[in-house]
A and B are shown apart, each in its own frame.
Chain A
Amino acid sequence: MNFWQYSSPQYFYPLAKKMAIIFFVLACILTVWGLYIGFFVAPTDFQQGESYRIIFIHVPAAWMSMIIYLVMSFWAAIGLIMNTRLSSMLAQALAPTGALMTFIALWTGAFWGRPTWGAWWVWDARLTSELILLFLYIGYMALRASIEDPRRADRASAILALVGVVNVPIIYFSVKWWNTLHQGASVSFTKSPSMATSMLTGMLVMALAFWMYSIAVSLVRVRRIIRDREANAGWLNESRGAS
């Protein structure tokens, strides 16, 4: 079997369906397991009480928001260099999930910050750079949405994603430096280094669950994009009956 044939939307389309189902099932199992650990096994935190339990959602979402930007830019770059349609479609499919993860991370962070810091929002370096990451996702999707020709949209948004990848570390470190200079919100994320093992396990299981969910939902979305863009291709109408 030739592995590269799956770079063609025609062969990837049925494969994506099978994979999406597997990843959805895994995501459900891992979420139930992770939330069980998070709510019933992990002990109450000595300093933060019950409110710390948001980390089982918050930390995985924050991780995914950054990882998805990298993966999205990777596929966009591959699409730009190798001129492969499916890579660009994958990049397009990943963007909304990445934006959603960024939003969840910010939102749950605000919920955690209110009881812990006494403020919904502080201009902490991480919060600020996460907010800018959300703007980057929005820019990427806005550019793509406003260009009608899909191939041009692929390439233009790929360039934007690459400019973003170069800039993300610069933005992160400049915001970090800005924050230490201002000394305003001297709230640090660094908690006590010792974390109960069950907390760590719960967080890692939830992170895996978020991975599975992101993959599954991106595959479903890429199938929709393929259906949209290849509507005139003969194979789609033939396979519609089969799969």
Chain B
Amino acid sequence: MFSAFLSVLRKELLLAFRQKTDVVTVLFFFLIVSSLFPLAVGPELSTLKIIGPGVIWVGALLCSLLALHRVFESDFSDGSLEHLVLSGEPLSILVIAKIAAHWLVTGLPVVIVAPLIGLQFGLPSTSLILLVGTLLLGTPVLSLIGSIGAALTLGVRGGAALTSILILPFYVPVLIFGAGAVVADLQGLSIDGHISVLLASLCISVALAPLAIASAIKIALE
């Protein structure tokens, strides 16, 4: 079971490594979207500091959404997803491997670049560290929840736009507590609650999302 997990993870990472444009596109999308906000709102650092954490979080969220359709779509169209289902290994474990790989190539780069954008928004260094921390906890949740939508819309017309409609409402709690932690810290409030809720969402989604994804994939392949 664990070796199956590792081999799927290795395969996905290898594929991503050979096809670097996918990763780079997502990263630049994040940079560009976040840079648009100062242009739209105005260059006053006092305003930017207030909206900064929210903008960076929404940017990370859109990036996660942008990359979602790649999690299962190509495997679905070339038939290798069917082989994974038939392999006899528990599908939810294989699904976790795929999502972990997806997060490593699209979520993690965003987390690493986020402080750079935070600097542009004039955030102090404590906020930057906190931003990285909350993104580290929150973006895996986004990948897990988002993959439910990706699995439900496999082979459906209008897949990518439909996935956004299905999934964005479920991103609300993560967004509130992720961005909220940074804002609360800027205001000198306690952030223990935010971090606890983010951790709890991570635990719940790691436990439940793979089950929902596995049954969604089986429905799509029938």
Q: Report the separation of the CA atoms of residues A51 and B215 in the bound assembly, to the nearest whole angstrom.
A: 49
Residues of B within 8 Å of A135, CB to CB, are 165, 168-169
Interface size class of B (residues with CB under 8 A): 20 to 34
Check: B33 CB closer than 8 A to any chain A CB.
no
| A174 contacts B173, C-beta separation under 8 Å | yes
Residues of B within 8 Å of A138, CB to CB, are 165
Nearest opposing residue in chain A for B219, CB measure:
A155
Check: A33 CB closer than 8 A to any chain B CB.
no
Residues of A within 8 Å of B92, CB to CB, are none
> If A174-B173, A177-B176 touch, does A143 touch B152 (CB 8 Å cutoff)?
yes
Check: A127 CB closer than 8 A to any chain B CB.
no
Q: Report the separation of the CA atoms of residues A35 and B7 in the bound assembly, to the nearest whole angstrom.
A: 66
Residues of B within 8 Å of A142, CB to CB, are 162, 165-166
Interface hit among A58-66, A160-168, A192-200, A206-214 = A160-168
With beta carbons under 8 angstroms apart, the residue of B158, B165, B170 that contacts A163 is B170
| B219 contacts A159, C-beta separation under 8 Å | yes
Residues of B within 8 Å of A242, CB to CB, are none
Q: Report the separation of the CA atoms of residues A176 and B118 in the bound assembly, to the nearest whole angstrom.
A: 27
Q: Report the separation of the CA atoms of residues A143 and B162 in the bound assembly, to the nearest whole angstrom.
A: 7
Nearest opposing residue in chain A for B201, CB measure:
A170
Q: Report the separation of the CA atoms of residues A139 and B167 in the bound assembly, to the nearest whole angstrom.
A: 8
Residues of B within 8 Å of A143, CB to CB, are 152-153, 156, 162, 166
Residues of A within 8 Å of B193, CB to CB, are 177
Check: A190 CB closer than 8 A to any chain B CB.
no
Check: A146 CB closer than 8 A to any chain B CB.
yes
Q: How many chain A residues touch the partner (CB < 8 A)?
A: 26
Residues of B within 8 Å of A90, CB to CB, are none
| A163 contacts B184, C-beta separation under 8 Å | no
Check: A175 CB closer than 8 A to any chain B CB.
yes
Check: A28 CB closer than 8 A to any chain B CB.
no
Q: Report the separation of the CA atoms of residues A142 and B162 in the bound assembly, to the nearest whole angstrom.
A: 7
Residues of B within 8 Å of A146, CB to CB, are 153, 156-158, 162
Q: Report the separation of the CA atoms of residues A160 and B153 in the bound assembly, to the nearest whole angstrom.
A: 11
With beta carbons under 8 angstroms apart, the residue of B165, B170, B184, B219 that contacts A156 is B219
> If A146-B157, A159-B212 touch, does A139 touch B169 (CB 8 Å cutoff)?
yes
CB neighbors of A among B208-222 (8 A): 208, 212, 215-216, 219-220, 222
CB neighbors of A among B148-200 (8 A): 148, 152-153, 156-158, 162, 165-166, 168-170, 172-173, 176-177, 180, 184, 189, 193, 197
Q: List 28 A-B contacts (CB under 8 A).
A: A132-B169, A135-B168, A135-B169, A136-B169, A139-B165, A142-B162, A143-B166, A146-B157, A146-B162, A152-B220, A156-B216, A159-B215, A160-B152, A162-B212, A163-B148, A163-B170, A163-B212, A167-B170, A170-B173, A170-B201, A171-B169, A174-B173, A174-B177, A175-B172, A177-B176, A178-B176, A178-B180, A181-B189
Q: A135-B165, A139-B166, A174-B197 are in contact. List 14 more A-B contacts (CB 8 A).
A: A132-B172, A136-B169, A142-B165, A143-B153, A146-B153, A147-B156, A152-B219, A159-B148, A159-B215, A159-B216, A160-B148, A166-B208, A171-B170, A181-B189
